[in-house]
Structure 1
């Protein structure tokens, strides 16, 4: 039986190129609607090499029913800082001190292979629609992607990202103001991975990362020392429509002590196309669990969202 308030499955497909990937969510502080920003891979095109994962825009969708269904709203405007067709991946968005901040991965041009410089760009916005370019961040190398930002207890900020120049390890950088960042070295050094996402739930900090065979899980009390969980999440296939393989590049949203959700993408079986899914998260005996096949209701609540994502945020 379908439970009340069950979300759509798949949760979202990009109606232009059918390649929605790398989702992140944030609540519009003016309207109360939820926004999804994602990498709009050009999955329905036949291109040379991996050209279809380059030349990508950041797509947007909104939900007026607390996250259960989503409407495509076009691409994010104002990201270009140099001419030509370029590549944008994996947005991270937060609210602080009267502005939204976006940290987005950037590759110049439309490469057909993986051998290209990559940087993380910083943009700001007042309304989630119109974005202003701020800077190219100076981080650990010129091969960095997949930013994730979370506040530190002292009021400063930490960014985690993938550094391809260091064997695809997760690195970190600190900032006092969200504009200037100081690299501090490896945050995780156990294996290659990407797409770090940090959140707080049930008294602990958690990080989930994409290791291309599901999601690795790490737990921390201080955002510096991380202990790896012995089993991954979302390895293999799920049973819902479109949940055809390993979960990739996820975004976790805690809704207080009881509820948390994991938004992720999966590839259609044997193809380039991909879609966004959502599943409930739970902590059991100190381990993070995600039952992608469970029947559940989804209602994202503005009054209980954590720092950065919606209601009670630092300002």
Structure 2
């Protein structure tokens, strides 16, 4: 027996090694530390109202850190009837000291709006932020001119500028298709001009687009993608343009060679619930950051909307938070494994 035990042990080790090489390991392991810190899960929860949603990320050069701007829904505020809890919000800000793996609350953005756009009573939703060549930051913000119990009210996209990412002034309404538009997403084109994609709620919530030479003057171009959804996000990666749209049963993915003609892939992202902490529901309205050739998907979830109480309307069902997953592209198809540990280190933009 003593001669068989070493052989059995060596055989077991060999089998385990072969299983690992074949991808048969059952437990997930963290990516190498060289890729960055392993991201927290959940990634971020708003400490005030526990309603973080619709994230967008940008590098803050003055702080030397990444900032996340997000819709700050009033999920835990008592006595808010109808959908007033998603109105009356100010844009929240979180900061990462380690390239996106961990986040802490900074506060809310100081956004000034004129009386005709609701003034201090306006609702702030789902911004996108870009930096111009002169260093000025430009925010494109969805604004609802008040607090309402239903969805039957105007919403417009407003342009603001800032030099410090905290104080936003010089609001100007962007002339788009109508007065029910939301969720801007911007990208700079190869010729140096800018393109904005947005959700046109009056046209079956399809995605429209507009062009600008300077972020100040805009020409609406009409329909971009005939896909009912919201929260379009456009980015450049692996030699192609990509658009991700929240279609309420996961995220639809579109690919384009010219940022004009889009082809939809069959598979959606985040439709199936995850298994990690507070990630057991489908994911929604996302941002994508490309860094070092890798693409990271920052999305939000309502973790309380599962089980027998999924359709109740209480603080548990209203609360939302931010998660992150890495995108993988193979043969022109994008996928993600939301349960895999995410080693992340976002670099400052060049």
Query: Aligned match of 1:90 in 108, 122, 126?
Result: 126
| 1:20 and 2:52 are equivalent in the alignment | yes
1:237-266 deviations in whole A, cap 9, x for unaligned?
Answer: 111111121111000111133x11000000
8 Å CA contact 1:81, 1:133 repeated in 2 = no
Bigger mean CA deviation after superposition, 216-225 or 282-291: 282-291
1:176-218 deviations in whole A, cap 9, x for unaligned?
Answer: 11011110000001x3111000111111110000001110000
Quote the Cα distance in structure 1 between the aligned partners of 2:333 and 2:112.
38
Quote the RMSD (CA, aligned, Å): 1.1
8 Å CA contact 1:201, 1:256 repeated in 2 = no
Query: Aligned match of 1:7 in 35, 39, 56?
Result: 39
8 Å CA contact 2:324, 2:342 repeated in 1 = no
Larger fraction in helix: 2
1:40-67 deviations in whole A, cap 9, x for unaligned?
Answer: 0001124111110111110001111111
8 Å CA contact 1:13, 1:274 repeated in 2 = yes
Alignment of 1:156-305 (within 5 A): 156-189=193-226, 191-257=227-293, 259-270=294-305, 271-302=317-348
Please give the TM-score of this superposition, normalised by the length of structure 2: 0.84
Alignment of 1:74-85 (within 5 A): 74-82=107-115, 83-85=119-121
Per-residue deviation, 1:133: 2.8
Quote the Cα distance in structure 2 between the aligned partners of 1:202 and 1:256.
11
Please give the TM-score of this superposition, normalised by the length of structure 1: 0.93
**What is the match of residue 86 of structure 2?**
53
Structure with greater Cα Rg? 2
1:57 match: secondary structure? coil
8 Å CA contact 2:90, 2:109 repeated in 1 = yes
**What is the match of residue 307 of structure 1?**
none
Equivalences, count? 302
Quote the Cα distance in structure 2 between the aligned partners of 1:233 and 1:278.
12
Quote the Cα distance in structure 1 between the aligned partners of 2:112 and 2:267.
38
For structure 2, the residue ranges without an aligned partner over 5 or more in a row are 1-28, 306-316
